[in-house]
Amino acid sequence: MHTLLPTGLDEEVELKEEPHIEFSGEEGMGRYLDLHPFYQRFINSKFGRQTDYAEYVSLAANFAEIPRSQRVSKAYREYLGSLLRYLESFYQRTQPLGNLQRIEDKVAADFDARFEAGSVAGWEDRGAGATSASKAAQQLDLDAFDSVEEVSTLGAEKLRDALAALGLKSGGTPQQRAERLMQTKGVPLSSLPKKLFARGAAPSDVQGAEEVQKQKAAAKEAARLEQRLLALCTALGSVLEDTRANVEKKQARTYEELKAEQEEQEQAEEPSDSDEEMTSSTTPSSCHWAGTANPSPTGSTSCMASTRSTTARFVETRHTGVVERLRGTSRKLGTRMACACWASQTTSASTRSPL
């Protein structure tokens, strides 16, 4: 039968084996997310900002905080892609019966139509430009300022936000930002030099037709990744909240408390004493330490004590008047034990007994 169906036994063994799922220590056997690699990438990139880890976890799917001029960059799209792959992997490991494809299909179903209609949040212009001249004029009233020095009194943060709203480069010192901002006073954005605009943030009337198409394609890809991430974060909402709470709890603990918790987790993973209990035959038996079993004046059937094993073994014994002492070794404790099962034999024929 085994020759005809050589894979039958293998399939049975595979069904009995428990699946081994890998989790990092930070993931806590699937209870929390490990976003540290993405956090480091975020705070060290142009599209990110300096923040603590707990806040990053809370804002992982809040794309509105990222400057629009950076959301069309290649670095930002690569960051979204790697974060998405990790969340998909975590979802599959923790929810093997969940339908990840259904989540993906729901996003893809009407994304193209929504994007072209300008109804995707943050991408109302469909990637044509960061802002229009009429909208930019409402960001900051430069008529109230007569010089660069007066504009610089707004502070570095406000100057950066004002430049980003116009799609202009927002780096440099406060003085440089103020000078750049004053160049927009009383003039349409389309008349400004292209070099003043951040990459992918210039209005369409400043760019060439080919560049506009490239920018729209990049914007659409970024928007699609954001929508997929948003849907997956919604599905993992409770895990995100637990992760944030766990991070805040750890931040409030001392080193000694964290070390004690780690030791408790390691002890909990060790096998309990019940795992090492010895199984024996249903035949009334007396178990002794190896080497202490006494010879039987009558027939005997010997058996081996087994621990944590389902493999059946057969030992052949003869009616010789001497108990054959078999030694078995426990996999965990290394205890050597022998079990002699006394049974009266009525025949001298060789017998086999399952162990």
Q: DSSP labels for 257-291?
A: HHHHHHHHHHHHHSPPGGGGPPB--SS--EEEETT
Q: Which one, of 85, 89, 79, lies nearest residue 27 by Cα?
A: 89
Task: List beta partners, residue 289.
Answer: 337
Q: With beta carbons less than 8 A apart as the criterion, state whether 171 and 201 touch.
A: no
Query: What is the reported pLDDT for 202?
Result: 65
Which amino acid belongs to residue 265?
Answer: Q
Residue 147: is it exposed, middle or buried by C-beta count within 10 angstroms (0-12/13-18/19+)? exposed
User: In Å, how far from its chain's centre is CA 334?
Assistant: 38
Return the SS3 of 340: strand
Q: With beta carbons less than 8 A apart as the criterion, state whether 181 and 90 touch.
A: no
User: In Å, how far from its chain's centre is CA 146?
Assistant: 53
Give the Cα separation of 182 and 185 in Å (integer). 5
Return the SS3 of 338: strand
Give the Cα separation of 29 and 33 in Å (integer). 10
Cβ density class 231-245: b for 16+ within 10 Å, e for less: ebbebbeebbeebbe
Tokens 């690569």 -> residue: 78
Tokens 């059946």 -> residue: 312
- Which letter does DSSP use for residue 197 in this model? B
Which amino acid belongs to residue 56?
Answer: Y
Structure tokens at 135: 């909208």
Torsion of CA 62, 65, 67, 73, to 10 degrees: -20
Q: With beta carbons less than 8 A apart as the criterion, state whether 58 and 244 touch.
A: yes
- Integer angstrom CA distances of residue 140 from 145, 178, 179, 180: 10, 12, 14, 13
Residues 6+ apart with CB under 8 A from 161: 170
Q: With beta carbons less than 8 A apart as the criterion, state whether 351 and 301 touch.
A: yes
Count of Cβ atoms closer than 10 Å to residue 69 Cβ? 25
Query: What is the reported pLDDT for 273?
Result: 55
H or E segment to which residue 165 belongs:
helix 156-166
Which amino acid belongs to residue 19?
Answer: P
- Integer angstrom CA distances of residue 153 from 156, 157, 178: 8, 11, 9
H or E segment to which residue 301 belongs:
strand 301-303
172: left (phi > 0), else alpha (psi -120 to 50), else beta?
A: left
Q: Tens place of pLDDT for every residue, the chain, 355 residues?
A: 555 555 555 656 555 555 556 888 888 888 999 999 999 999 999 899 899 999 999 888 888 888 777 888 899 999 999 999 999 999 999 998 889 999 999 999 999 999 999 899 889 888 776 444 444 444 577 888 888 888 888 888 888 888 877 778 888 888 989 988 888 888 887 778 878 887 666 665 666 667 778 888 999 999 999 999 999 999 999 999 999 999 988 887 777 777 777 777 677 655 555 555 544 444 444 444 444 444 444 444 444 443 333 333 444 444 434 334 444 433 333 333 333 333 444 444 444 444 4
Give the Cα separation of 91 and 225 in Å (integer). 17
Residues 6+ apart with CB under 8 A from 351: 301, 316, 317, 345
Give the Cα separation of 51 and 16 in Å (integer). 47
